[in-house]
Structure 1
């Protein structure tokens, strides 16, 4: 099993586990390896040092190897990335996905035509502006694809 430190174009750093280097490369070429925060499939390996447990004494603490993020990328600290992904998963778990019917369903709830409930879905920028102009509270919130999947 290979544990790789990975990074997307946005500078998000995450870990991936693969059966082998060939497995990683194959999955990457098929677009199966994606950033859990932004779903970017342009993934690169970062420098990482292997830790071999050969029964030796605990290694001394060393500073982690850091690879600079691409120019212009806003890099979130790992704890903040984890907190954002946890929040996104809670949102997904506690809302109903109405897909592209979001604007229509939000209007129906606002006008009392259907029961109010927590929903999420897709709306165009124009639909979002129309909802806001009608006094319907919406929050554009891009959810990473990883938030919609269960971890194995």
Structure 2
């Protein structure tokens, strides 16, 4: 399912769910999308904000000494960083 923000020729904005983008195209071409406010069939997609997903924050780097390899500065992967 996909939701589109739609707008009729009279400026009424609304949203509607479709099975796919192709479903929207087919219904639009057939005149099957109707503005719920005025009944206009002259409906187009409105400008939509992008769907931005925010991922999890990166884990903080381990402090030097957190790994057994850090017992010796020569083998510590964090030596010289930070």
Which interval holds the TM-score relative to the shorter structure?
0.5 to 0.7
Partner of 1:11 in structure 2?
11
4+ runs deviating over 4 angstroms: 52-57
The TM-score normalised by the length of structure 2 is: 0.60
Q: 1:56 Cα deviation (Å)? A: 4.5
Which structure: greater strand fraction? Answer: 2
Partner of 2:42 in structure 1?
42
Larger Rg: 2
1:2-151 paired onto structure 2 within 5 Å: 2-53=2-53, 55-56=55-56
For structure 1, the residue ranges without an aligned partner over 5 or more in a row are 58-152
* Cα deviation code 1:111-151 (max 9, x no counterpart): xxxxxxxxxxxxxxxxxxxxxxxxxxxxxxxxxxxxxxxxx
The TM-score normalised by the length of structure 1 is: 0.34
SS at match of 2:37: coil
**Count of paired positions:** 57
Which structure: greater helix fraction? Answer: 1
For structure 2, the residue ranges without an aligned partner over 5 or more in a row are 58-82
